[in-house]
Each structure stands twice: as structure tokens, then as C-alpha cells.
Amino acid sequence: MTDSSIRTTKGRGRRFDSVLDTIGDTPVIRVNNLGPDHVAIYVKAEAFNPAASVKDRLAVNIIEAAERDGRLKPGQTVVEATSGNTGIGLAMVCAQKGYPLVVTMAESFSIERRRLMRMLGAKVVLTPKAEKGFGMYKKAEELAEANGWFLAHQFETRDNADIHAATTAQEILGDFEGEALDYVVTGYGTGGTVTGLGRVLREARPETKIVLSEPANAALLGSGHAQERTDEGAPAVSHPAFEPHPIQGWTPDFIPLVLQEAVDKGYYDDLIPVTGPDGIKAARDLAAKEGIFTGVSGGATFAVSLQIAEKAAPGSVILCMLPDTGERYMTTPLFEGIGEDMNKEEQAISASTPGYRLG
């Protein structure tokens, strides 16, 4: 006899043909223990994608769109510059579809990201830290031109924002159908999320305010300084307002063309900067007080959501985008001070009974 109070599941009612069919339909989860009582805060947890980040969406669409129109040939090598999550997503997609993948990545990004991509069969080419994101971007261009490889162009391709308009935005509409949604908060890496959401929500939910965030010490949009571009829309130089920041995956040292659409068409209502330490604290609080595990970028977005919550009208509903999982940040400041060995309190717990004690 089954306890009627126990949690149960019934399956999805379908079987999946490949891991790629599990991308999307990520859950919206209420935050219960953080934030003021007069508002409701939800997070959209993109770590539930199969390779654990929002970038799985653009990865599959870039490859499948290129397959459909013939830009990507069978067996052709794919190359892309990435801070990690897009590369991991592309590595998953390319592994399933049988394409070789080469990723270029600045040496400053976390080591676990390199290892994850290599585990998925990709080759990872590191570029000098001093050359920032622009250096890894130019290296990918060089390799594509020299070898006839397919360059994914995550920062320029329309395929990026298209998938967010077709999936992410539609999921939000479905999950909040008939319900209030006052704010959606997101950061930007390529800008695909905010641009895709803006295309759809501006028409379908015009009352919903879209809030964009960027690092306080790398406020490229906030600087008002336009990005210099090539004729193709690619960045011509590193943006002068950029400084290194700890929010990996956010804000490269240029304004991506995908993001420029959101700027030019007014897809966001407010731009709020956030510091790295505030992002780290918010990510740690989400983990320790909600059991929701996200990276520094998710923490930074949540920190901005908390700022909005404090000033929002009673009854407001806020949705915060969480791009990935905290496990991608094990060698970053997010985990500083979190030890591997027992601390004094843990040692005292161990010593409180006589058996099975270490040391």
C-alpha cells in the first residue's frame, strides 16, 4: 500500500529519439525563502537543459539551421569562440550529430569548462588572457578561414535569438498564461536571450518590463560608447569600456551584433549594473537557502531581481533567468572559502560519537 502523501511521478508520456530532443521546457520555480514578502519571485532554471545551460538552445539551432540551408556540410568541422557554455552545448550537439568541433577559449575561463568540452569530444584551443574575448573570437575566424571550417557565429547569427523567440519566450508565455508577469530579468553574453524574449514579449505581453543587467565594472551598454564593427557586423575592436570581471559567460569585451538588435529596437526597459561580489553572494544564497544551484551569472541576475523586488509594487511578479549550473564554477571565486576538508564544526560533530572517526 502506497502512502498517499508521498511524491509520485508518471513519466513524460514519451520517449526521446536523442538527447537533443530534451532541450528546452525548463522549469519556472518559485523562490520561497529569499526576497521581500510583498512580491513573488520566480527563476527559470536553464540548468535543466541536457548540457546544463541556456546555450544548449542556440547550439542546436545554429547547427540545425545550417544543416537545413546547406551552410554546414556532412562531416565538416565546426569552430567557435566561447567562454564555455556555448562550447559545451555545441560539443553535445556535435557529438550526437557526428561533427568534429574545435573551440577557442581565453585561458582565463574556468578549467572545468575545458574538461567538459573535451569529455564531449571537442578540441579546445586556448588563447592568451591578455587578448580577452576578442582574441578568442579572432582565433576562431582565423581557423575557419584557414581550414574551411564552419564558423558558428554565435555573436552575429540570427539563429541565436530565433531559438529564444521560438522556445524560451513561448515557454514563459505558457507558464504565465492568464497570470501576472511584471518583470523579466536577464543578463547578456551574446544577447540572444534578451533579443528573442523582446521580439515576442513586446507584442504578446507589453505590460511586462524587461530588465537587462551587465557587470558594474564592464558596463558596455551603460557607457553609451558604440561598438566599432566590420561591414559584416562583427566587432572590429575590443570595447573601450570593458574591464575583466568575475561573471563568466556575461559581457565579452565587445557588444555582440545579436544584442545590438535589442538595443536598437528598445527590447529592454531598464539597464541595471551589478557587481561580481553581489552576484557571488546571491548565487550562494540561492544554493544555501533555496537549494537552487546556479553560477555567478545566475547569481548576478538574481541580485538584480532582488533590487527590483525591494522597490516593486505589492503583488508584483518577477521572473529571473538563471543561465546555468554552479558546478561550472568550481575553480572560480564562487567556491572560494568552501573547503574540501572538515572545518572545526564538522570535526566536532565527528568527535561527538566514538566510532568511524577520521584521523
Write the CATH number for 202.
3.40.50.1100
Q: Which domain holds residue 188?
A: 19-49+167-335
Helices (H), the chain: 55-69, 85-97, 111-119, 132-147, 158-163, 169-175, 192-204, 257-264, 276-290, 296-311, 344-351
The verdict on 130 and 229 lying in the same domain is no
The verdict on 75 and 32 lying in the same domain is no
Whole-angstrom Cα distance, residue 195 to residue 11? 33
Q: Is residue 348 assigned to a domain?
A: no
Residue 139 a catalytic site member: no
The verdict on 65 and 210 lying in the same domain is no
Q: Is residue 194 assigned to a domain?
A: yes
The verdict on 174 and 276 lying in the same domain is yes
Q: Is residue 277 assigned to a domain?
A: yes
Residue 297 a catalytic site member: yes
Reported as a single tens digit per residue, the pLDDT across 304-355 is 999 999 999 999 999 999 999 999 999 999 999 999 999 999 999 999 999 9
Catalytic residue among 55, 132, 139, 209: 55
The verdict on 144 and 222 lying in the same domain is no
Q: Is residue 12 assigned to a domain?
A: no
Q: Residue with C-alpha cell 579572432?
A: 138
Per-residue pLDDT 10s for the chain (359 aa) are 456 789 999 998 999 999 999 999 999 999 999 999 999 999 999 999 999 999 999 999 999 999 999 999 999 999 999 988 999 999 999 999 999 999 999 998 889 999 999 999 999 999 999 998 889 999 999 999 999 999 999 999 999 999 999 999 999 999 999 999 999 999 999 999 999 999 999 999 999 999 999 999 999 999 999 999 999 898 999 999 999 999 988 999 999 999 999 999 999 999 999 999 999 999 999 999 999 999 999 999 999 999 999 999 999 999 999 999 999 999 999 999 999 999 999 999 999 999 998 87
Cβ neighbours of 122 (radius 10 Å):
25
Catalytic residue among 53, 83, 238, 297: 297
Q: Which residues contact 54 (CB under 8 A, 6 or more apart)?
A: 46, 85, 168, 193, 321, 323, 324
Q: Is residue 5 assigned to a domain?
A: no
Q: Is residue 160 assigned to a domain?
A: no
The total domain count for the chain is 2
The verdict on 39 and 60 lying in the same domain is no
**What is 202-222 written as a DSSP string?**
HHH-TTSEEEEEEEGGG-TTT
**Residue 81, Ramachandran bin (φ over 0: left; ψ between -120 and 50: alpha; else beta):** beta
